[in-house]
């Protein structure tokens, strides 16, 4: 496993539409392992391959919560070629953040429940219902695969402000 660099707004790669994973290979498994290491180190709960500059339809996620004894037991999940097959009309609002837009959080409204189809690391296709944090996180990460960021759901004023802030920071870092 290896830590990978997370690309940060305004990097144009974040706007790429990721390509489907043709076959679950050793390289795909290694990428997933690297993504978990990177995600846990950040720390975050979800990561799309495009965020580590790999334009593939691959997501890692771990929504583990602390148990009653105070321990957090990892629950790593991999979603290959995930797609939303249906979503509820009911909406929910969660405060979202993003490893590619560090230390910026805003409330985003999304469908409260979604049904997803995806392939796992064994090449098996699954369908699953998601709600709560899982629904929010999977929608957020699938958006990444389509070149969409959570700030795209904000008002133009807020979105422009955050993009300008990160563009300035990138310019200063390059000097």
Distances (CA, A) of 106 to 19, 47, 72: 28, 18, 26
User: What pLDDT sits at residue 72?
Assistant: 72
Mean pLDDT (10-residue bins), the chain, 175 residues? 94 97 97 97 96 98 77 88 98 97 96 98 97 97 98 96 94 87
| Lateral strand order in the sheet of 125-131 | 46-48, 58-61, 77-87, 113-119, 125-131
Domains and CATH numbers, the chain: 12-174 (3.90.45.10)
What are the catalytic residues? Answer: 141
Residue 131 host element (H or E): strand 125-131
Q: Are 49 and 142 in contact (CB under 8 A)?
A: no
Residue the block writes with tokens 């997501």: 59
> CA angle 49-83-146, nearest 5°?
50
User: What pLDDT sits at residue 39?
Assistant: 96
Token duo for residue 63: 């929504």
């Amino acid at each position: 496993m290896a830590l990978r660099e997370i690309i940060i707004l305004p990097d144009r790669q974040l706007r790429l539409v990721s390509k489907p994973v043709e076959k679950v290979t050793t390289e795909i498994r290694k990428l997933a392992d690297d993504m978990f290491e990177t995600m846990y180190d950040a720390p975050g709960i979800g990561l799309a391959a495009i965020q580590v500059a790999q334009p593939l339809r691959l997501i890692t996620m771990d929504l583990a919560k602390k148990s009653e004894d105070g321990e957090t037991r990892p629950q790593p999940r991999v979603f290959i070629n995930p797609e939303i097959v249906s979503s509820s009309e009911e909406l929910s609002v969660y405060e979202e953040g993003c490893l590619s837009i560090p230390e910026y959080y805003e409330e985003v409204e999304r469908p409260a429940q979604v049904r997803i189809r995806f392939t796992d690391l064994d090449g098996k296709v699954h369908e699953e219902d998601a709600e709560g944090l899982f629904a929010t996180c999977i929608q957020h990460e699938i958006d990444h695969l389509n070149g969409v960021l959570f700030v795209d759901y904000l008002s133009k004023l807020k979105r422009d402000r955050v993009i300008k802030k990160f563009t300035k920071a990138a310019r200063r870092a390059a000097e």
